[in-house]
Amino acid sequence: MNKESAKASSTVTALSQSRIFRDYQQAFNTATGLKLSLQECGGPEAYASAVSGCPLIDTPGGSCQNCSKLTSRFKREATDEKPHRLQCFLGMCHAQIPVRVGDNVVAYLRAGQVFLQKPDASDMSRAAKQLIRYGSKINVKRVEDLRLHTKVVPPEVFDSTIRLLTIFADHLGRISNEVILDDDRATPRAVHQTKVYLAENYTEHVTLGDAAKMVNLSAHYFCKAFKRSTGLNFVDYLTRLRIEKAKDLLARSNSKISDAAFEVGFESLSQFNRSFKKVAGLTPSQWRNQPLSALS
């Protein structure tokens, strides 16, 4: 796993275990009856897992030729990073909504599977026979259960559900930096002390060596412990912390961008602009010029 992949993986882990995601997931499941998950981006096997596992096929992760075709379509459409409604030949649908952090899509919200209209017995019988012709081992008892018990959601309602998830995905992307900075899951005491210190002294010139000395650890050991706990190296963490403080300044005052940059501890405006774009996905000017509702 390369550096960027590891960072994205850490971000998705923090988001999936955050209170805001778990609260939304529970509320969404209760309100809609649909299962919601947050899945990390990955290679072809990650895309295949989203559309395989047909409930009619009596093998783990079972799929048919139609599922394989849908997997190829899933992979192809995933590259344009837009919300999608995917439907297999049985008529079962699920939604895929990208979660963007900065310039990159790091995960997908996925919800489903549902029927957009209730199939009749003859529809399901034909589907089962077709799967058998494909060489799939069918559990016949599941055919009628699937028809009777799979949730049916009208297309316009499912499209509205996708819209709600798109809004939530956008919000997750916006708050991802805050979630990472606040993530204290199983944080070692030395790392926790460092995070508290940085929260109060982020404007100062603090190096990795300074932080390690403060908690009486070697720089080498502290670097590994900090990265293992936060998913970020020390410099990246401090940069993200400063960017969040700069966002507050830009949202709540008329400070010049250059003044905000220096006030939160950056030593050059060009470094601030590069770091802000990388973390927020927008330049400081673009971020400030968003509607007020988008800044919260």
DSSP letter string over 200-221?
HHTTS---HHHHHHHTT--HHH
Contact criterion met (CB below 8 Å) for 247 and 287: yes
Percentage of the chain surpassing pLDDT 70? 77
Q: What is the pLDDT of residue 51?
A: 45
Q: Average model confidence (pLDDT) for the chain?
A: 80
User: Which residues of the chain, if any, have pLDDT below 70?
Assistant: 1-7, 42-81, 89, 131, 134-141, 184-186, 291-296
Q: What is the pLDDT of residue 205?
A: 93
What does each C-alpha distance from 241 to 25, 144, 201, 234, 244 come to in angstroms? 27, 54, 11, 11, 5
Q: What is the pLDDT of residue 47?
A: 45
Q: What is the pLDDT of residue 40?
A: 84
148: tokens are: 């009777």
